[in-house]
Amino acid sequence: MPNTTFAFKQFNVKQDKCAMKVGTDAVLLGSWIIPNGAKHILDIGTGTGVLALMLAQKSNGQITAIDIDEIAVEQASENVKNSKFNNQIVVEHISLQQFAKLKDIKFDLIVSNPPYFEQSLKSTNENRSNARHADVLPFEELVDGVFNLLNTKGRYCLILPVIEAVKFRSIAEKKGFFLSKLLRVKSRVDKTIDKRHIMQFEINPTEFSEETLCIEEHERHHYTEEYKQLTKDYYVNF
């Protein structure tokens, strides 16, 4: 029986309705991001609302969470309402493309765990397909939307598989973004190939920093100390 509720230290995330469940990618990204006093934060493609809730836990900023999937918005709204961060997060049913056209506000921090499959076999579940396939939000449109909504000193953070990350970086840099931070994520200490890239982009040139994180030791579910330290404020078992 699938786990319909994911328990974190300071909030719970129901995921019985949402197409995409809470996964390692979102937790990695949310744990890695440092809000740095951001007053206005945007979560693109919020899904269950887990990223918005993670950021609310470690910031005092006002968070706007958007999603094109009506069921995801319903689920995220429920999770926010049932948390102690209810007054800090607003969930909206709207696409990034529409949001960028309608809103005048500029954000200090924008985050997303974006869809990344292109031209691959889609699931028969339309909501799940939309959550995982970049057809709904192509990288070019994602970059354009973020560029229009980010203030000049703001930061955009996201996580992607390596191949897609390389493609996204090229598109973002052509638009005028600069990569300021990169976390190379490896699944185990004995793996030589990166599994994910977590990236931070800024509009103005800045000093670049790069780090590597291994999730597991040589055996499955034997987590590294660095991974435990990164996620300890959220995972119940760490």
Return the residue matching tokens 């909501």.
127
* Lowest-confidence pick of 103-107, 125-129, 133-137, 219-223: 125-129
Contact 45, 37 (CB under 8 A): no
Q: What is the pLDDT of residue 233?
A: 98
The answer to whether residue 123 scores a pLDDT higher than 50 is no
Q: What is the pLDDT of residue 120?
A: 46
Q: What is the pLDDT of residues 154-210, one digit of tens each?
A: 999 999 999 999 999 999 999 999 999 999 999 999 999 999 999 999 999 999 999
Buried-state track 209-221, b at ≥16 Cβ within 10 A, e below 16:
eeeebbbbeeeee
The answer to whether residue 127 scores a pLDDT higher than 70 is no
The answer to whether residue 32 scores a pLDDT higher than 60 is yes
d(CA 185, CA 195): 6
- 4-24 average pLDDT score: 94
Give the predicted TM-score (pTM) of the model.
0.92
Q: What share of the chain is helix, strand, coil (3-state, %, to 5)?
A: 30, 30, 40
Residue (of 17, 19, 65, 57) closest to 40 by Cα position: 65
For β-strands 196-202 and 150-161, DSSP reports them as antiparallel
The answer to whether residue 61 scores a pLDDT higher than 90 is yes
Q: What is the pLDDT of residue 1?
A: 47
Q: What is the pLDDT of residues 151-170, one digit of tens each?
A: 999 999 999 999 999 999 99
Q: What is the pLDDT of residue 113?
A: 95
d(CA 121, CA 203): 35
The answer to whether residue 222 scores a pLDDT higher than 70 is yes
Between helix 70-81 and helix 50-57 the angle, nearest 10°, is: 30
Tokens encoding 171: 């598109």
Give the domains, in start order, of the chain with CATH numbers. Answer: 5-231 (3.40.50.150)
